Copies of this chain bind each other. A is one copy, B any other.
Amino acid sequence: MSMTSPVTCQKIKEKQNSYAPIFEDLIATDSNNNFALSYSINAIEDHSNDNFVLSNLNALLESHHSYPIKGSTYLDRNTNFHVKSSNSEIFNILQAAIAFKLAGKNHKALKLLEHATAVAPDNPDVLNWYGEFLEQIRHDVVTADELYFKALTHSPTHAAALVNHKRTSPLVDRLDLDLFKSIDKKKDYLKEKFDSYNFETLKKQAYYLHIYHTVGIEGNTMTVEQLRTLLETGQVIQGKSIIEHNEVLGLQLALKYVKSLARKEYITVDDILQMHKRVMGHVDPLTSGIFRDTKVFVGRHIPPPSEKVPELMESYANWLNSDEARNMHPVRYAALAHYKLVDIHPFVDGNGRTSRLIMNLILLRGGYPPIMILKEQRDKYYDALNVANVGDVRPFVRFIAHCTLQILDMYIQGTKMLVLDDHSTNTDGTQIINY
């Protein structure tokens, strides 16, 4: 595998060392692994207070999850309108929508445009019109830009979409930059607090929530409480399958491994195989840690043939360790690392979980806390990945950026809660958050 030059490595090293502290301690693994060594059953720890914190945090996270990709209804999986319609029918709907818009009846116009995009999701006129509507009436430049781009993927010479996209693209770039800036501001704020406050309970809760959401996205039905009991006592949860149990054990083992890689200079193909071995090892000892040897399907997308996987993974690792990647904003770097890995889809199963771990490894190395993609964000997450597949990776980067904001807010809110709880150190009741 080719590496970057020694001089550049030195530069990157310095750059990385400037991040302090690395949030690797947010992965609370070492203390929970005792049960693996014997049959003994430990008493469940007293979490009476933790539970209060936990439920507040989860509520906070769930209220959060509605904003990441605004107005992405045109990709909504739950729609019932996926039927073919004739062009003239679409044309009629569009005409009516325009008429409503001109008459100032924006709500009715929106309804018709939503209907049109559901009926004809690939029609460039519909996409372009819907974009214009969202841009002008809703001032939603980001979604509008995504729609123009999508129109252009279906009709690369579409005049109106070209003009529109040329206008919105730099605006969106600037908005994304602002997003990264606000992320870094919160990260720096949190970093400062990280030394002075005791995050123990919060870290532990985040750790369990992390496992909960990343296995939950793949269909695991265990609750946070259940998986915590499993990990702390080694005892099984009635009514849950053995596979669900082993998925949880796998994540614990994998997170421990991610933590061990946080200060490693380069990420190799073998690191990724080792990560996957841990993610899937308990579930399937025979396919874990090795590349797939069969064709796979991910929805309508067909990943590269299995014989190409080793070569593609070498290129992927080269990219991961390249100056190009390492000089990006860490959130973009992490999001792209995720997207590129699911795109190769090197494993039979566990590709999503492994990709999310690689993403989090990069965030950790960049000085960010590991992020969670909530079970409730599943559809938005997959939609953004689908859009990346058809050529526009920005919505996915944006989605990951919002998830980063979300976890930073969780810790910052958690700090607040912990401080407000502790009257002995903060008796004047002043608000200490002022970012």
Contact = CB atoms under 8 A, between A and B. Distances in A.
Interface of A: 35-36, 39, 41, 219, 230, 234-246, 249-250, 253, 277-278, 281-282, 284-286, 288-289
A39 B241 contact: yes
Contacts of A249: 242
B285 A281 contact: yes
Contacts of A240: 235-236
14 contacts: A35-B241, A35-B243, A36-B243, A234-B241, A234-B242, A234-B243, A236-B236, A242-B249, A245-B245, A246-B246, A246-B282, A250-B285, A253-B286, A277-B285
A35 B230 CA distance: 21
Contact of A281 (B35, B219, B234, B281): B281
A242 B253 contact: no
A284 B36 contact: yes
Nearest to A233: B241
A219 B277 contact: no
A239 B41 CA distance: 10
A150 to B, nearest CB: 34
A190 B234 CA distance: 44
| Nearest 8 A/B pairs, CB to CB | A281-B285, A236-B236, A238-B238, A234-B241, A234-B242, A242-B245, A236-B242, A282-B282
Contacts of A219: 39
Given A235-B242, A245-B242, A278 B288 contact: no
A39 B219 CA distance: 9
B282 A278 contact: no
B241 A245 contact: no
A281 B289 CA distance: 12
B286 A285 contact: no
The interface centre, meaning the residue of A219, A241, A244 with most chain B CB atoms within 10 A of its CB, is: A241
Nearest to A237: B236
A282 B288 CA distance: 11
A335 B180 CA distance: 67
